[in-house]
């Protein structure tokens, strides 16, 4: 079983809500980080920007009650009180559920989420007071060195949003996305590294990610498109695809263009960092990939199965 990679170190910063985005059925007008919820009521806290991590809060009830938290990147998503996907769908809206006992408890969401908004829903039977709601942002300890500025403020904002989005994807490895998959896909890594190098001059996470990809080498020399067998996933913190620590069909998926991306990714990493020892270490893996690709007929590759962009 390939347990999820545990980051050696992450940066954790706490963020308070900046506004109440929605409120239905609260017993009194909610404060910026607290509310009293009658059964069936809900309140949505707005943290002002995209965050990646968990939500911490204090919950107090006089009787056992059930509480649900729905995280969303926009308000519409956070107000989806019912999962919009059918039970057999491959994706499900993230929800966190708590069964509360009488008294006050300091709690945290078990799943790692990508979100700006968090909706607290009281399912009864008693009323629930939630207070000191806090989001805990987590990401790798990187220092921003890249800069961009021009006379067009819209371009400046777009650049900063892009920089921050990439920074949030750099966790224990290069994640393809912080909200849904949280996985190490070869093609996503390649694009991300080419952006991360001028922005953060990262080598540590890139080395780890390349080694994880190489560890997922198949007998025919090909590499799995996603490095799940090396721990390139976040189960159980992201769990909608099931237990990814157990080898399954997704672990077997080979994309020929991702195999080619691996060879290019090693070359690009060495080109920018000068880390020849890593290239020598990974030589058996990329030579195996080259041998595999030499046997691939592009006329027989099925788009969407053996080749995607």
Fold of the 153-300 domain:
Glycosyltransferase (1.50.10)
Mention every residue, 6+ apart, whose C-beta is less than 8 A from residue 76: none
Whole-number average pLDDT of the chain: 93
Q: How far is CA 175 from the centre of its chain?
A: 6
DSSP letter (8 states) at residue 153: H
Domain range summary for the chain, segments of one domain joined by +: 11-139, 153-300
Q: Parallel, antiparallel, or unpaired: how do β-strands 65-72 and 113-122 relate?
A: antiparallel
What is the pLDDT, as a whole number, of residue 240?
A: 82
Tens-place pLDDT, residues 59-86: 999 988 999 999 999 999 999 999 888 9
257-266 per-position pLDDT tens digit: 999 999 999 9
**Predicted confidence (pLDDT) per residue in 263-278, tens digit:** 999 999 999 999 999 9
Note the pLDDT of residue 3. Answer: 73
pLDDT for the residue numbered 5: 66
Dist. CA 106–CA 59, nearest whole Å: 6
Residue 309 has pLDDT above 70, yes or no: no
In terms of CATH, what superfamily is 11-139? Galactose-binding domain-like (2.60.120.260)
The mean pLDDT of 167-177, rounded to a whole number, is 95
Query: What pLDDT is recorded for position 109?
Result: 96
CB 241 within 8 A of CB 8: no
Looking at residue 53, its pLDDT comes to 96
- Taking 90 as the threshold, does the pLDDT of residue 241 lie above it? no
DSSP state of 229: G
Cα distances from 178 to residues 65, 80, 84, 233, 247, in angstroms, run: 31, 20, 20, 11, 22
The answer to whether 202 touches 142, Cβ cutoff 8 Å, is: yes
Give the confidence band of 7 by pLDDT, cuts at 50, 70, 90: low
Two tokens, residue 139: 């990401």
Run of H or E including 134: strand 128-139
Distances (CA, A) of 160 to 74, 109, 135, 146, 179: 19, 28, 21, 10, 19
User: For 107-137, what is each residue's pLDDT tens digit?
Assistant: 999 989 999 999 999 999 999 999 999 999 9
| Per-residue burial over 237-249, b = 16 or more CB atoms within 10 Å of its CB, e = otherwise | ebeebeebbeeee
Helices (H), the chain: 75-78, 153-169, 186-200, 204-214, 249-252, 256-273, 276-294
Tokens 């059925």, located at residue: 25
**Cα separation values, 123 from 46, 63, 228, 270, Å:** 21, 12, 36, 55
pTM: 0.91
pLDDT tens per residue across span 11-57:
999 999 999 999 999 988 889 999 999 999 999 999 999 999 999 99
The helix or strand, by DSSP H or E, that contains position 14, with its residue range, turns out to be strand 11-15
- CA pair distance 309, 306, nearest whole angstrom: 10
Measured between alpha carbons, how far is 59 from 54 in angstroms, rounded to an integer? 15
Token duo for residue 94: 């993230």
Sign of the Cα pseudo-torsion (234, 239, 241, 243, in order): positive
């Amino acid at each position: 079983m390939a347990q999820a990679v545990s980051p050696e170190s992450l940066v954790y910063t706490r963020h308070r809500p900046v506004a109440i985005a929605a409120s239905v059925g609260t017993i009194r007008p909610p404060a910026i980080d607290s509310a009293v919820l009658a059964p069936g009521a809900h309140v949505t806290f707005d943290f002002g920007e995209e965050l990646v991590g968990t939500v911490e809060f204090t919950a107090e009830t006089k009787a056992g009650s059930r509480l649900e938290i729905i995280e969303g990147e926009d308000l519409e998503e956070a107000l989806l009180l019912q999962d919009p996907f059918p039970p057999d769908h491959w994706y499900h809206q993230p929800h966190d559920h708590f069964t509360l006992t009488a008294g006050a408890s300091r709690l945290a969401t078990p799943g790692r989420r990508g979100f700006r908004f968090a909706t607290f829903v009281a399912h009864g039977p008693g009323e629930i007071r939630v207070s000191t709601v806090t989001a805990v942002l987590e990401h790798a300890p990187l220092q921003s060195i890249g800069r961009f500025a021009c006379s067009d403020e819209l371009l400046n904002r777009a650049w900063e949003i892009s920089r921050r989005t990439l920074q949030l994807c750099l966790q224990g490895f290069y994640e393809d996305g912080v909200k849904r998959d949280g996985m190490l896909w070869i093609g996503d890594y390649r694009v991300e590294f080419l952006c991360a190098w001028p922005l953060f001059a990262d080598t540590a996470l890139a080395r780890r990610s390349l080694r994880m990809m190489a560890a997922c080498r198949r007998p025919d020399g090909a590499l799995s498109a996603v490095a799940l067998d090396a721990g390139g996933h976040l189960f159980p913190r992201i769990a909608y695809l099931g237990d990814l620590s157990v080898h399954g069909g997704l672990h077997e998926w080979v994309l020929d263009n991702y195999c080619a991306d691996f060879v290019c990714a090693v070359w690009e990493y060495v080109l920018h960092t000068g880390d020849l020892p890593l290239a020598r270490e990974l030589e058996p893996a990329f030579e195996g990939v080259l041998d595999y690709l030499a046997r691939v007929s592009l006329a027989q590759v099925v788009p969407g199965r053996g080749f995607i962009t």
